A and B are shown apart, each in its own frame.
Chain A
């Protein structure tokens, strides 16, 4: 009997139309947990670095997290893993919603797609019955529209659907996979789904998920629920509202957008509008949001209402969450009404709400600067908002200039030439970032941006306050009930952190402290990604209900695998190292571990080098960021070391640990 997990994966060979239910090795659960951990193991074993993103040999894995489908509150994420067409590295974007628990109840931990279907299909998984079905009638349909059509066609209103829109079908490098109120957007995984000609995966499951130690597990769940209630009633004082509570930043609830609109950049991540927010705009935007928003909605088994149903007269209803609220608005230098309207079309097309607006703003900046000309935009409307719709329509169809822009700013700039590269200025590892440009280098964020292989800061940061509190009394108050810290020393780090003076950024937190903080933050995200837990209840917010002290208990009671803080940390290090190993094998090196050049005005090259060296050393990586023989063997990843040696990854005596 397997607990929390089902012990079976669904292997689908799309080329041949073959479907198999394959039992998994319980030893892998102990070593790599589940979700991202076991996905990474499969990707390492089966997708060598020679495999191109659009090769039939690339895999597209839809995985539940280890605790998805159990009563663990907020544990509902699907971890989608593949090789990204944009970064050409491992992409492991995730989505909340309802899909992963449904798959567990259907009797599977993962759906592993390989090969390529000769024609557009969808997959229908209904407990033991799995079918590949023709999707010719869904070609060009919106992602939300597709889900509704499939539920009707199958007469299964309770089925959960993960679908791509036109962007995925056209292999747009920033195409998303949409699932009602959630989407897996980063890294262009929707393009891989489209390349494999899979329009949707529909799941319905009515089987039990078992728990190893029921009473203990339920007591842990109840503790978490009680703590959530406590935090809902007691927001953290002294931080901005979106950081005071739990869940994803509450963008659907909060109307005060002074902080985002005045601190984030507009257009192609260029312009900061320091006095943008005023009473008039606040009134107008509040009215827009309240008129459009019909309900605040949650993911499976979670009380946090981070999403919203958006109904705008004359447009189909869709669901939204988090920061997509502002990305289109700010890229187009427009207002919220425009942002909510174009996001409807973008959601049906299935594009990433971070990358898509920036790609369009980038195109218009090239046009304003004469690098692209009228010839590149035949028939484009003259008005700003009209241009964004026009560009979006062409990108998702790969028509004209849209075909170039569909590859994202990094690749498009290289195709366009004529100095366009300088305009693709906001990428890490070829991937568009949040439009944020700051002054003084922050050592914690430097390391997270540089080394975070999820390549998206919101899925790397968390736990530790983003900035020091001005008064020591406030800091003392904050650390009082900070039981989530893995070690008491973190409290001292924070207590001594000042806004100005000796103990301020960039030299405080010290290099050693910075490494500790980043390692803790990263560890919590990696645990979430294996368990399927939403970062909004764990790794992202301050003082979350899940932490390093209760997670081992959840895993032990849920799965029956003995786990303590030490062994959980080791398992996490193991698959985190494996993620890096996959990328190293695909050519990623130290030179790729860097934030956008203009992210901070004041840079400190020596300090940055020292930070990287120290962090690499702590991680067991050499000065090129390659996991060392000793580190690999300590984690039982001898097979990675053997492969590195065979492929001559360690060259020029770089096997020695960083100094």
Chain B
């Protein structure tokens, strides 16, 4: 494992909930961009950004899909901000069992925002002309570890469970099969 000082470009989406007009154009364009082939269909239920809305309570929070969570949180808090009560989930990016957001509607497979790889800026930002979503790029000096490969991590887990020798023997046996 090598540790290095590196300059990394980090994309941040600045979300201004006060500017959100609740139109959900971000959901529309996100789901269209990620359709296969691109733009061939759209469906906000597949979007990797969802506007958590409760119009009469004046709650509008655009949230991006983050990591998959196997289980939902044990306790969920309520936040009161400017007199408005938000469920903790209103700010949570997890694709989690507690809600339908950030999952493919038919298979249930989790979705994650990829900042629209290949585009100048995420399309949700481009389509949000009320500027509730603004994309910012900043440079940051980071200590970057070269990440180990998944296989190495997997093998290490196998070795700790079955013993290193047994793993080596099995790999040898499997490679001889050909």
Binding site for B on A (CB under 8 A): 69-71, 73, 98, 105, 144, 148, 157, 180-181, 205-211, 214-215, 217-218, 225, 228-229, 232, 294-303, 305, 309, 311, 316-319
Chain B residue numbers with a CB within 8 Å of A302 are 23, 25
Whole-angstrom CA separation of A214 from B40 in the bound complex: 5
Q: Which of B8-40 contact A (CB under 8 A)?
A: 21-25, 28-29, 32, 35, 37-40
Q: Does B130 contact A (CB under 8 A)?
A: yes
Contact of A208 among B24, B42, B127 (CB under 8 A): B42
Beta-carbon contact of B56 and A148 below 8 Å = yes
When the two chains form the complex, which single residue of B42, B55, B126 contacts A181, counting CB atoms closer than 8 Å?
Answer: B55
A71 close to B55 (CB less than 8 A)? no
Report 19 cross-chain contacts, Cβ distance below 8 Å, ordered by A residue: A71-B29, A71-B39, A205-B45, A209-B43, A210-B41, A211-B32, A214-B35, A214-B38, A218-B32, A295-B60, A297-B22, A298-B23, A301-B23, A301-B24, A301-B28, A303-B130, A311-B58, A317-B56, A319-B55
The answer to whether residues A296 and B42 also contact, given A157-B54, A303-B129 and a CB cut-off of 8 A, is no
How far does the Cβ of B22 sit from chain A's closest Cβ, in whole Å? 5
Asked whether any CB of chain A lies closer than 8 Å to the CB of B44, the reply is yes
- Given A297-B55, A300-B23, are A217 and B39 also a contact pair (CB < 8 Å)? yes
Q: Counting CB contacts under 8 A, is B105 at the interface?
A: yes
Known: A71-B42, A309-B58. A225 touches B21 (CB 8 A): no
Q: How many Å from the CB of B21 to the closest CB on chain A?
A: 4
Question: What is the bound-complex CA distance between A232 and B23, given in angstroms?
Answer: 17
B58/A71 in contact, CB under 8 A: no
Closest to A222 in B: B126
| Known contacts A208-B43, A303-B23: A71-B32 contact under CB 8 Å | yes
Q: How far is the CA of A611 from the CA of B43 in the complex (A)?
A: 48
Name B39's closest neighbour in chain A (CB-CB).
A214
Residue of B nearest to A296 (CB): B21
Q: Name the distance in Å between B127's Cβ and chain A's nearest Cβ.
A: 6
- Give min CB distance, B58 to chain A, whole Å: 5
For B46, list chain A residues within 8 Å (CB): 208
**What is the CB-to-nearest-CB distance from B28 to chain A, in angstroms, rounded to a whole number?**
5
In the bound complex, CA of A15 to CA of B81 (Å): 49
CA distance A413 to B55 in the complex (A): 40
Tally of chain B residues near chain A (CB < 8 A) = 32
Looking at A205, A208, A298, A300, the one whose CB has the most chain B CB atoms below 10 A away is A208
* Contact present for A144 and B22 (CB under 8 Å): no
A309-B25 contact given A208-B35, A208-B42, A215-B39, CB 8 Å threshold:
no
Distance (whole angstroms) from the CB of B88 to the closest CB of chain A: 15
Q: Could you tell me the distance between the alpha carbons of A206 and B45 in the complex, rounded to whole angstroms?
A: 5
Question: Interface centre among A297, A302, A305, by most B CB within 10 Å?
Answer: A297
Q: Give the complex CA separation of A301 and B31 in angstroms.
A: 13
What is the bound-complex CA distance between A208 and B23, given in angstroms?
19
Q: What residues of chain B have their CB less than 8 Å away from a CB belonging to chain A?
A: 21-25, 28-29, 32, 35, 37-46, 54-58, 60, 100, 105, 126-130
Q: How far is the CA of A266 from the CA of B157 in the complex (A)?
A: 81
CA distance A217 to B60 in the complex (A): 29
Chain B residues whose C-beta falls within 8 Å of the C-beta of A217 in the assembled complex: 39
Known: A70-B42, A208-B41, A217-B39. A300 touches B24 (CB 8 A): yes
- Interface pair A214/B37, CB less than 8 Å apart: yes
List, in ascending order, chain A residues with CB within 8 A of B24's CB: 98, 300-301
With a cutoff of 8 Å between Cβ atoms, the chain A residues found around residue B54 in the complex are: 157
Contact partner of A180 among B39, B40, B55, CB < 8 A?
A: B55
Query: Given A148-B56, A157-B54, A301-B24, is A225 in contact with B129 using a C-beta cutoff of 8 Å?
Result: yes
In order of increasing CB-CB distance, the 7 nearest A-B pairs are: A214-B39, A206-B45, A298-B23, A208-B41, A206-B105, A298-B21, A218-B39
Decide if A144 touches B45 in the complex (CB within 8 Å).
no
| Cβ of A654 to closest chain B Cβ, rounded Å | 50
Cβ contacts under 8 Å, A205 to chain B: 45
**Distance in angstroms between the alpha carbons of A210 and B54 in the assembled complex:** 28
Q: Which residue of B lies closest to A299 (CB)?
A: B23
Contacts A303-B21, A303-B25 given; does A295 touch B58 at CB 8 Å: yes
Which residue on chain B has the smallest CB distance to residue A181?
Answer: B55
- The reply to whether A305 and B39 contact each other, CB–CB distance below 8 Å, is no
A138: shortest Cβ distance to chain B, in Å?
A: 17
Q: How far is the CA of A19 from the CA of B97 in the complex (A)?
A: 33
A73 — which chain B residues lie within 8 A by C-beta? 25
User: Which residues of chain A are near B105, meaning CB under 8 Å?
Assistant: 206-207
User: How near does chain B come to A536, taking the closest CB pair, in angstroms?
Assistant: 13
Select from chain A the residue with minimum beta-carbon distance to B52: A157
For B130, give its contact among A144, A148, A305, A311 (CB under 8 Å). Answer: A305
Does B55 lie within 8 Å of A210, measured CB to CB? no
- Contact assessment for A105 and B127 in the assembled complex, using a CB-CB cutoff below 8 Å: no
- Best-surrounded residue of B25, B32, B45, B55 (most CB of chain A within 10 A): B55
- Point out the residues of chain B lying under 8 angstroms from A298, CB to CB: 21-23
* Shortest distance from the beta carbon of A493 to any chain B beta carbon, whole Å: 33
CA distance A522 to B141 in the complex (A): 61
